[in-house]
Chains A and B, each alone.
Chain A
Amino acid sequence: MQITPSMAARKRMRRENLIGYAYMMPAILFFLSFVIFPMGMALVTSFTDYSMDSFNFIGLSNYRRMLQDRVFGKAMGNTILIVLVSVPAVTLFSLWVASLVYKMNKHASSFFRVVFYMPIVTGTVAVTVVWKWMFSRYNGLLNYVLNSIGLINGNISWLGDEAYAIWCIILILFTTSIGQPIVLYISALANVDQSLVEASEVDGANNFQLFWKIKWPQIMNTTLYILVITTINSFQIFALIQLLTSGGPNNATNTIMYNIYYHAFKLNEYGYGNAMGIILAIVIGVFSMIQFKLARSDKE
């Protein structure tokens, strides 16, 4: 090792750098232009009254307005409710399915993976419109089935009723969210160190102990990943709301993302919309951090 690199070595290093950046260049260009730059713009314009005809810095006014905005509060509450229900439900359900499926033979396991992935592949919009029909008040399947088995009496307007609408949304979100977690859990469970499992079986561990003591720690990274992506996706719920309820009735299904869309694209309040986006990003960041902390403390 030389302390001062010779001319040749320095030249080689410069060449290495050039080659590295040549490979990176296309990705970096796209990333800077269409991710980093708009992110910066979102932050900057959140301090302005940016709209169709004005662009003035107004300090923290947008953020102050949010604190007093009842609809924003309601939307934040709904969004957090959706996240708090759907994230644990998706995680537990997909773990349950995966733990049944991963021991099956190739064809069976592949079949179930495809089935639960289907709603994602079919496409959000296609799935949403068919659910809208099934939830429909007069010609919907759900009312017919529930009436004929005697669970309800008379037709319910599922998406038009403040008490039910958000739960219908959560149900559809659930069916479109479990595909990826199931695939991930199946492969994680299949990769659990078999020698540890056998060793503890010899030691007389029951299935429950086997799961918590041996398998659970080994699939922790997968669980964490699933928690984080499901949280991010649930926070960003939009298409379901826009297509099914437009945030109604009486804001019962309004969410942050829908509210942003409404302010930015219906009322042209870009500045206020961006400020809400920044708050949403911060809230998501906080949730992800909590999950990381919990997962870490669980490991120790």
Chain B
Amino acid sequence: MQASVNRTSPYRLLAILLLIALSVLFLFPMYWIITGSVKSIQAVNAATPVWFPLEPTMDNYARLFDRPALMWLWNTILICTMSMLLTCTTASLAGYALAKKNFIGRGIIFAIFISAMALPKQVILIPLLKEMSFLRLHDTPWAVILPTVGWPFGVFLMKQFSENIPGSILEAARIDGAGEVITFTQVVLPIIKPGIGALAIFTFITTWNDYFMQLIMLNSQSKLTISLGIAKLQTEMSNDFGLIMAGAALSAIPITVVFLMFQKFFTRGITMGAVKG
């Protein structure tokens, strides 16, 4: 009883009010995107802002879908899904081996993976572009997917999760005569599943947002991602904010839904990845 009285000090009350006010400010851009996307040109350009569109119009969306916007969305989903699947596969295999297998060079390999994470990812974009051109993958989804899968964060995260696999269970599986494949799929995978879930969402969202990589790797109109598409709208139609907001909404809404659905996994994932390191 005493404690709960103590906790709501005037400072805390004031701080929480401030926090709520800030929350409103943080949600506001999202609100402004969605309402802006259904405003008429007059309402968008009004000198006195239209706080709520009383006469919503689908005109901006109609103009957005005159362009291959759905194709851009599809490209993005394809790139993100492939990156996610490949990253989860390679990272969970490697993470398990780094945590639970004894092999020569394990320590050094892990150290190299970790130190690469501290380097600025964008610095290698120029050579990556050249490499992709050489492999004839430039301007294809693979030019974005492959470098994303190579980034070592996933391996690091999955190693942290795999540390939790009890050695006794692996030992029992071995005594039962289970081979590597059976042990990994039947014993290891179920235990590290939450980790894979976290990594999946994390990879999906970071790939969705990796604008610089997409900008460099993809050129043709039909290959663009939704982020590149909006950026293109912005350069071509710089003051047509209604249209641009429609594009932003098309990009933001699907990913927000994914995030809200898997929010719990996600918070757990970014926490696990960091705190133990």
Which A positions have Cβ atoms within 8 angstroms of B?
16-17, 19-24, 26-28, 30-31, 33-39, 41-42, 45, 96-97, 100-101, 103, 110-127, 129-134, 136, 138-139, 141, 144, 175, 180, 183-184, 187-188, 191, 221-222, 225, 228, 232, 235-236, 238-239, 242-243, 257, 260-261, 264-265, 270, 273-274, 277-278, 280-281, 284-285, 288
Contacts and interface: CB of A to CB of B under 8 A. Distances in A.
Nearest to A104: B16
A27 B86 CA distance: 10
B165 interface: no
B230 A125 contact: yes
B195 interface: no
B127 A38 contact: yes
B220 to A, nearest CB: 16
A39 B128 CA distance: 9
Contact of B122 (A30, A184, A257, A278): A257
B147 interface: yes
Contact of A100 (B19, B150, B180, B277): B19
Interface string B32-48: 11001000000011111
28 contacts: A21-B103, A27-B93, A30-B86, A33-B150, A34-B146, A38-B127, A111-B23, A113-B267, A118-B30, A119-B26, A121-B252, A122-B33, A123-B227, A123-B248, A123-B252, A126-B249, A138-B45, A139-B46, A141-B49, A175-B26, A175-B29, A221-B277, A228-B118, A238-B211, A260-B123, A261-B212, A265-B216, A285-B119
Contacts of B29: 119, 122, 127, 130-131, 134, 175
A76 to B, nearest CB: 14
A70 to B, nearest CB: 22
A27 to B, nearest CB: 4
Contacts of A175: 26, 29
B90 to A, nearest CB: 4
Contacts of A274: 123, 126-127
Contacts of B180: 19, 22
B131 A37 contact: yes
B25 to A, nearest CB: 8
Interface in B123-168: 123-124, 126-128, 130-131, 146-147, 149-152, 155
Given A20-B102, A139-B47, A144-B48, A187 B275 contact: yes
**A-B pairs with the 10 shortest C-beta distances?**
A20-B103, A34-B150, A23-B97, A27-B94, A41-B127, A38-B127, A277-B123, A126-B248, A30-B150, A38-B124
Nearest to A141: B49
A30 B90 contact: yes
Per DSSP, chain B at the interface is helix
B255 interface: yes
B146 A30 contact: yes
B101 A23 contact: yes
Contacts of B215: 242
B136 to A, nearest CB: 15
B128 A188 contact: no
Contact of A184 (B36, B150, B274): B274
A31 to B, nearest CB: 5
Interface in B207-228: 208-209, 211-212, 215-216, 227
A31 B149 CA distance: 8
A124 B234 CA distance: 14
A124 B30 contact: no
Given A114-B260, A124-B227, A183-B267, A236 B104 contact: no
A175 B244 CA distance: 21
A236 B244 contact: no
B26 A118 contact: yes
Contacts of B118: 228, 232, 284-285, 288
B94 A42 contact: no
Contacts of B234: 129, 132, 243
B120 A232 contact: yes
B251 A123 contact: yes
Contacts of B19: 97, 100-101, 112
Contacts of B47: 138-139, 144
B248 A121 contact: no
B241 interface: yes
A117 B267 CA distance: 10
Contacts of B205: 120-121
A202 to B, nearest CB: 13
Given A42-B126, A115-B26, A125-B230, A130 B94 contact: no
A28 B274 CA distance: 22
Contacts of B30: 118, 122
B117 to A, nearest CB: 9
Nearest to B257: A121
Contact of B270 (A41, A122, A183, A235): A183
B67 interface: no
Nearest to B158: A27
B93 A23 contact: yes
B122 to A, nearest CB: 5
Given A20-B97, A24-B97, A42-B123, A36 B116 contact: yes
B44 A35 contact: no
Identify which of A38, A183, A264 gathers the most chain B CB atoms within 10 Å of its CB: A38
